Structure 1
Amino acid sequence: MTTGSTPTDEPSTPEGFPARTTKALLDEVAGGPGRGRRFFAWLCGIHDCGKATPAFQQMDETGARAVRQAGLTWMSTGQQRWRHDRAGGRLIQDVLRRVGWHDDQISWIWPLVAGHHGRFPSSGELIEPVRARGHLHGKGPAWRRIQSAIVDIFTHQLGFDSLQDVQPVQVPSRADQLHLSGLVVMADWIASDERYFPGLDDLRDVSLEASRTRAAGAWEKLGLRGGWGRLGVPGVKAFDDRFGHGPRPSQVMVMDAARQMAGPGLVIVEAPMGEGKTKAALMAAEILAARFRADGVFVGMPTQATSDPIFSQVRTWAGKVSPGLESQVALLHGKRRFNQEWQELLAEGGENPDDLYGTVDEDALYGMSSFDADETPERRAPAEWFLGSKRGLLTPLVVGTIDQLLFAATRTKHVMLRMAGLAGKVVILDEVHAADVYMSQFLLEGLRWLGQARVPVVLLSATLPPAQRRALIDAYLAGASSREDPPPLDLPAPGGYPNVTAIWLGNAGPRTLVDHCSSWREDLNVRVEVLPESPKTTSQPRTGTHADVVELLADRLKDGGCALVIRNTVDRAQDTYRALRAHFGNDVSLLHGRLHAAHRADRTEIALAQLGPSTAPRPRTILVATQLAEQSFDVDADILITDLAPIDLLLQRIGRLHRHDGVPRPARVREPCVIVTGFGLPHKSAPWILPASEAIYGRYLLLRTAAFVYEADKQYWKIPSQVPALVAAVYGEQSVVPEAWAEAEQAAFAEWDEKQRARAKSAEKFLLTRFKEHENKTLEGLHYAETKGTEEIVHAIVRDGEPSVEVVIVHEADGGYTSWTGRRLGINGEVPVPLVDEVLGGTVRLPTKLTKAAESDLQPLEGWRQHPWLRYSLALKLDAQGQVSLNGFIVRYDEDLGLVIDESR
């Protein structure tokens, strides 16, 4: 495989779907250049061979009569059923064995046939029910002859000399098998769509030539296209062309690392907040794609909110890589409807967004979406086919949440579509330090499969604990070497910060490249202060600690300035907002996850504008937020007040301080300062820590972080140069707390370690591969215990949380309903087209403690039953007082506070 390492700024050459890596894989498996295309056509064509059985033929009375008249018979099996996908797995096994295929080739082919409806069965599941006595599969030599003939005739029609001539020369890796399986399913779904392939009633109309003509016409209507196609390896000048300015030293370092890699591998970039990691990653992706024949990118962000701004950035970059490609970038998360840029892109493509995303049962209709296919090939949006259920990752250029990758590591139906969507791309994952021990199990499993599929991966983080960095590397290398355990690797530690670590698997084993450079900005000397709390003050939410925050900000913002207050829970943020609002009035705003979609989008936009970079003095502004302000939130605060959090997350929050140069700052906040609260002063023992914070993060890491905060009280941290050392110390194995805390630290560690092990263990049952089965050669039995449920349930699984539900707020009024804004709906809740966005803007997520009650007590309004967007939406019907009782709680929506949950009295 050529690396194409000569720097060039040649434009890209668009190609068709799929990526060149996939085409090369098929050629390698099939035995040489040009053979892969025909072999893939054969794979797709034989996937439904199981329909040549009585089990399927008897489903239609007219067809069954014709088959019997042709001399094929079977006995009635009553209620016995046998799926045609499993029947096909057995049939193709039998046929291929009879013509002398090698067992190792048969063993990976049959699961692709038996699993084309989304689940890979075990070989034992290919045995028809006992009481059917062979009459479901076809009993006797006549059935065997006709089944062999169907496969044989089809094989000759494709141009093969014989069925033996089809036999591959290589057994692809399991990741490649999963990739090919996904493409077979994709082809099946397309061919099953009668809008593109209307049925033929006359067998005389069936021929290979006619099929090719039909396929060409369908392909033109579908408008499916690849990504950028053939790329030249971009030189340093390309950075300026893409982003309008030259690269910083850390960005040059990352690009150089991508150029020096001798094979596809893993690149880990650790750099300070605001260093420009995303731009460096996009350029690295461009280089890796050019060198290793990838045809697109997936950018995974930690949250939906952080995905939206990156979507804009990726679109701009893609248009510079290949003009027009910016319109082919897909946004993939549950709230994309509320992204204005995405909506405008769809409107340019001619779609009615109301019709795009209906939930469809793939077993019934193969996931077909419901809108008009009368399209021209040159669309101004990703092809409509990509926008249907479970297909988003197949779009060549995708921005979404990291959950899309985590889902690909779960044992769920149609997981092969996710792998097919990731293969052939460069994968970029941002903020990977945010993955806790539970989420990390899915991240590590995903990296195993990506490593085995030779997918280049770029991971971004402000900094990583050494153990986490090594775990990520080991997972990728284990996958790349198709081993349970990674090959031995002497990995040097990064010598500075920012830094880059690149690893790949060479002919002689793992290869590494580790480099570092200076940050483009000088260190910020951030003053650290402690604002202590105690159980007594915390129990007085209207006064207590919030009064201390009011007093402190009244002093620091006397001459103006912008403050950011980050609380660890929504309830605490709401209480703080109340206290600050009473003193500062309209200068205070609130942002958290229990705002409905419209309010959250508006307030996020306002916050980014108010606290953004400016060369003119900014008006006094106080933003109270939850962890939403922790990741990829580009605000610049003059002063930060934050609840105690583990050191890496605390440093992320500090990254919002004095983020931009040239911003005028009042004298009292000219020095960057973080005030840490949510814990008490130590006396002769370890400090009290806010119970809600311990419930989220655990006492162990908070206690160790508190030790460093106390040590720095009224002193300074140098940011970013001290970041790696602080993170390594808190996450290290040596004790870092005062001697008086030692016993408390040991107890906290024992509890934390037990929970970490338990949480890691609890993830195992959902992972795509069982422990000690990573060296298996085929996909047989992959779905031995399928993870079932809606995407909401799977989301809860990969995030280690109880499933939560979203509801749509409506108000009961005069025997009917209004939207959250007070606009009148139909008597049964019918929504006029102009009000659809407004109604959906009232979508809010309930806390998990209300999930069961919501699922049992709430339902869609009657007038929503036929609406493509609202038919599955639960209505939260607020009464004349603006509230509703749910599971012993009073739930209400406050225009300032958002969703408020009060206990019933």
Structure 2
Amino acid sequence: MQVPWLFASMEAEGLTARAQVTVDRRQAPHATAGMLILDRWLEQRHNWDPQRTKQISVVVGGHHGLPPDGLQCEAALSRPYLLGWSRQDHPHWLRTQFALLDWAAESSGAAGRLGDWRQLKLPQPVQVLLTGLVIMADWIASNPALFPYRTDTAFDQSRIRSGLAELDLTTPWSAVAPELDEDLLSTRFGLPVHYQLRPVQRAALAEAVSAPVAGLMIIEAPMGEGKTEAALLAAEAFAAKSGAGGCYIALPTRATSDAMFDRALEWARRLPDRRGDRGDHSIALAHAKAFSNTRFTRLFHRGAVSAVAQDEAGHGPNAQLIAHWWMAGRKKNMFNSFVVGTIDQLLFAALKAKHLALRHLGLAGKVVIIDEAHAYDVYMGVYLDTALEWLASYDVPVVILSATLPAQRRCELVAAYEKGRNGPRPAVGRRRRPAPTAAELYPELIDDIGYPAVITAGTEGPVRIRPVQPSGRVTAVEVRTLKDDPKSLIDVLQRELDGGGCALVLRNTVKRVQETAKALRDAFGPELVTVAHSRFTAPDRADKDELLRNLFGPPGNGHERPAKHIVVASQVAEQSLDIDFDLLVTDLAPADLVLQRMGRLHRHERPERTRPARCYLTGADWEAETAVPVPGSVRVYGAWALLRSAAVLHPYLDGGRMVILPGDIAPLVQAAYGTIDIGPASWLPAFAAAEAQAQAKRADQLHRAKTYRIQSPSAAGSPILGWLHGGDPLQDEESPEGRAMVRDIPVDTLEVLLIARDGDQYTTLPWLKRHRRVVLPTNSCPDDDLAKAVAATTLNLPVEMSTPDVIDALERRHPWLDAWQSSRDLEGQLVLDIDPATGTDLAGFHLDYDRHDGLRVRRL
């Protein structure tokens, strides 16, 4: 009825429709109608039990991204005229429907199998993957660039071949299990030939090779032990064993993802392939600002694919890595062979969102590596555990990395994976016994398992725990308390850096970073102080990370290390950046994060270094009866985690024992997250109050996280009807709302595009590498290239500015933005203009921005 001239042809053959169809047709959208028609065809044409049809037909019902629920099916069935099934409808409708399905069954080869499939009990994960496959095929077939519209109706195989040739999908990786070879670090990662495998790398590879099947591996090892290389080598072995055709590497932040992308390129370009002479592989960076990463965007040439990084060393028959145009979309990026991205992309696999089956389809053929597992809180853990269940149900091998995990969390991760691997527990009798806790299921993981350690699970046998000898690198850290004021900090840095050296000052909030940086620049000069935090535009943040890696990365990276320098940073310098300092000053944080920060001390051997490793712990009042963390840290981490951290570190402070890395890492973390009383007796009342608050927050987080989380896979044969219902499923999980749902952050945090104001003109930022200080049109839309440059300059405003007043002020300030709405990159975006010299006033705030300090905000 939507195409009158086609409907006229149908009416001429008797396929008429009642007028009521126009009013009610939304009650039977064609995905639901197709599902119900397939049900009836299976029942009447092939004698299927009505209870068995929907496990197949739901694939058709979900091909627009949302499988219908029972109410939607009933709404359509109660209006048979919408399906051509009412008594007044011509019987041609049902005959035509059945004839089309007969033709499809014969053409596909399914007709001869439908009898055998009558007894089928299709597991829910299989239903999801089939749905994803149909969505993918539908998107390919309906792409007019691949299959231009034609008016003739001839079925033409050559048209299919031509369209698929134009699509030119890359081949999956066919992994070869690596052999234990001392040259592996050189041949796989481009490290100098004298680098030898460390014990944890040997252990991870050996366990992956010897495991009966590819399952779950947890690698716990201190900072700087080469966990990333260990995981990638294990992934190769798991992929060879399981047939996985790719790898997804999940990291905590965009910055750490960008840093890992370079390393993944180096690794992937050197990989041998079982097929020998093979086609290209695709690689992608998956996060909201991926196109701000020039290393990734260089893989594209005028919107088409281009090759990168052929292996020069000649290690086996290597192919080119390309960025594929069709798989560059946000809902399709998981189809690439190799993907590096944020943990959000994996957590989205547990979030009720449209087209979720596509994400599952992309992940199902990969090995998944989860880095920095200790960085994810209780709320995010709910989504991570559900994602692990579904990954295990697809037999996806998973490698989890952490400096160390609390014992309870270690058990929960293993329990989630094993649950997915083994399927739902059958009910026994009318009253089901309470499910055992993760700690009860895996008591061996609660005990002292050794450190470092490699744990293997999900391999059709008991959990295997392999303690590993440390590599021999031992760092003794002297820990001193420091009064939380600028003068005390300046005095310490002047004394400690008197003969030179590089210091890292880590703060828990951006406000403290900026206040500290101002004081230190006044004392030491601006040229000796560098600032890093999350309140930079995406391009400036990427440049900042690159600067840190160049100046403070491993020796021999081609860049000269400063003789004397101070970096003041937020948590962005805490993890996944391979940077190294002589001195650390850090705000009090949870124990595992303090130890992670200590891992930035003496990370690399430097012959010129003679000073001991020393950490100053600040951000708290140490002279009070109980350590009192500063309010900003309490808002970020909660009082209980901070007090437990202070308590376990208490014996090491100010002349006490040295913290020995890595030996003390596991005992300190397990004590901090355990239940045994620790610290001075006078602290116990404060502990009790903080613990009550922490438990209440944990319960609240668990409750809220489950609202939009998908359920675990149900029993085989149960259709995924309503799989994504029960809550309002998101249209786009990668929207700010989606990221807020999986990270428990304010959904209304404002993101703006930053531009410069120069008199009465608006320009791009004056320091951009490309499109520097370009005048922006206000009566027309920027061209595509310029629009992308503007869209890349995203900036998150602080929470206190995420108000309707600020939104209204920005919209009134830029009425000319209507002219920009025709750009796909700029549509719906808020724009903030700042004079680089004087800043700007906005809704009761004064804002300044420069490339060195980022965004500074002050209430007027």
User: TM-score over 0.5 for the alignment?
Assistant: yes
| Counterpart mapping for 1:597-612 below 5 A | 597-612=538-553
Return the match for 1:79 from 23, 27, 34.
23
Return the match for 1:573 from 491, 505, 513.
513
Structure 1 residue 458 displacement after superposition: 0.3
* Separation in 2, partners of 1:688, 1:490: 35
The percentage of counterpart residues that share the same residue type is 33
Aligned match of 1:699: 639
Aligned match of 2:66: 119
* Separation in 1, partners of 2:361, 2:718: 18
Tell me if structure 2 keeps the 8 A contact 1:812–1:818.
Answer: yes
Secondary structure of 1:94 counterpart: helix
Secondary structure of 2:463 counterpart: strand
Return the match for 1:229 from 131, 149, 174.
174
Tell me if structure 2 keeps the 8 A contact 1:501–1:512.
Answer: yes
Tell me if structure 2 keeps the 8 A contact 1:698–1:752.
Answer: yes
Return the match for 2:827 from 871, 887, 890.
871
Secondary structure of 1:80 counterpart: helix
Tell me if structure 2 keeps the 8 A contact 1:315–1:326.
Answer: no
One-letter amino acid of the counterpart of residue 328, structure 1: S
Aligned match of 1:483: 424
One-letter amino acid of the counterpart of residue 850, structure 1: M
Tell me if structure 2 keeps the 8 A contact 1:228–1:322.
Answer: no
* Separation in 1, partners of 2:841, 2:404: 45
Aligned match of 1:395: 336
Distance 1:416 1:856, change over 3 A: farther
Aligned match of 1:466: 407
Q: Check if 1:640 corresponds to 2:640.
A: no
Aligned match of 1:40: none
Structure 1 residue 635 displacement after superposition: 1.1
Distance 1:329 1:133, change over 3 A: closer
One-letter amino acid of the counterpart of residue 332, structure 1: A
Aligned match of 1:802: 746
* Separation in 2, partners of 1:571, 1:273: 28
* Separation in 2, partners of 1:782, 1:182: 14
Tell me if structure 1 keeps the 8 A contact 2:49–2:118.
Answer: no
Aligned match of 1:216: 161
One-letter amino acid of the counterpart of residue 87, structure 1: A
Secondary structure of 1:127 counterpart: helix
Q: Check if 1:741 corresponds to 2:693.
A: no
Tell me if structure 2 keeps the 8 A contact 1:272–1:462.
Answer: yes
| Counterpart mapping for 1:630-709 below 5 A | 630-665=574-609, 667=610, 670-683=611-624, 685-709=625-649
* Separation in 1, partners of 2:279, 2:119: 37
Structure 1 residue 339 displacement after superposition: 1.7
Distance 1:195 1:238, change over 3 A: farther
Distance 1:724 1:153, change over 3 A: same
Secondary structure of 1:593 counterpart: coil
Q: Check if 1:60 corresponds to 2:3.
A: yes
Q: Check if 1:547 corresponds to 2:487.
A: yes
Structure 1 residue 820 displacement after superposition: 2.2
* Separation in 1, partners of 2:226, 2:671: 26
Q: Check if 1:384 corresponds to 2:334.
A: no
**TM-score with structure 2 length normalisation?**
0.88
Aligned match of 1:337: 291
* Separation in 2, partners of 1:127, 1:857: 47
One-letter amino acid of the counterpart of residue 858, structure 1: L
One-letter amino acid of the counterpart of residue 523, structure 1: V
* Separation in 1, partners of 2:2, 2:504: 66
Distance 1:664 1:348, change over 3 A: farther
Deviates more, 1:216-225 or 1:407-416: 216-225
Structure 1 residue 176 displacement after superposition: 2.5
* Separation in 2, partners of 1:473, 1:263: 16
Structure 1 residue 831 displacement after superposition: 4.1
* Separation in 2, partners of 1:759, 1:80: 41
Q: Check if 1:590 corresponds to 2:551.
A: no
Structure 1 residue 301 displacement after superposition: 0.8
Tell me if structure 1 keeps the 8 A contact 2:291–2:792.
Answer: no
How well do the aligned residues superpose, as a CA RMSD in angstroms? Answer: 2.7
Write the deviation string for residues 112-160 of structure 1: whole angstroms up to 9, x where unpaired.
1111111111122113458855344432444322222211122122334
Structure 1 residue 637 displacement after superposition: 0.6
* Separation in 1, partners of 2:613, 2:280: 38
Q: Check if 1:276 corresponds to 2:226.
A: yes
Tell me if structure 2 keeps the 8 A contact 1:227–1:397.
Answer: no
Structure 1 residue 380 displacement after superposition: 5.7
Aligned match of 2:499: 559
Q: Check if 1:522 corresponds to 2:473.
A: yes
Aligned match of 1:539: none
Structure 1 residue 752 displacement after superposition: 0.5
Distance 1:451 1:159, change over 3 A: closer
Tell me if structure 1 keeps the 8 A contact 2:809–2:843.
Answer: no
Aligned match of 2:81: 134
* Separation in 2, partners of 1:352, 1:842: 25
Distance 1:171 1:247, change over 3 A: farther
* Separation in 2, partners of 1:238, 1:786: 53
Deviates more, 1:604-613 or 1:719-728: 604-613
One-letter amino acid of the counterpart of residue 542, structure 2: A
Structure 1 residue 901 displacement after superposition: 1.4
* Separation in 2, partners of 1:690, 1:711: 21
Question: How many equivalent residue pairs?
Answer: 799
Structure 1 residue 560 displacement after superposition: 0.6
Structure 1 residue 617 displacement after superposition: 7.0
**TM-score with structure 1 length normalisation?**
0.84
Aligned match of 1:195: 145
Distance 1:710 1:160, change over 3 A: closer
Distance 1:424 1:462, change over 3 A: same
Return the match for 1:89 from 35, 42, 47.
35
Write the deviation string for residues 463-517 of structure 1: whole angstroms up to 9, x where unpaired.
00000000001111111111255895553545321101100152xxx52211011
One-letter amino acid of the counterpart of residue 645, structure 1: A
Distance 1:143 1:228, change over 3 A: same
Structure 1 residue 653 displacement after superposition: 0.6
Return the match for 1:171 from 98, 121, 126.
121
Distance 1:681 1:289, change over 3 A: same
Secondary structure of 1:254 counterpart: helix
Structure 1 residue 839 displacement after superposition: 3.7
Tell me if structure 2 keeps the 8 A contact 1:737–1:745.
Answer: no
Aligned match of 1:6: none
Tell me if structure 2 keeps the 8 A contact 1:331–1:398.
Answer: yes
* Separation in 2, partners of 1:132, 1:179: 31
Write the deviation string for residues 572-608 of structure 1: whole angstroms up to 9, x where unpaired.
1000000000011110111111112232222222222
Structure 1 residue 836 displacement after superposition: 5.5
Gaps of 5+ in 1: 1-57, 354-377, 534-544
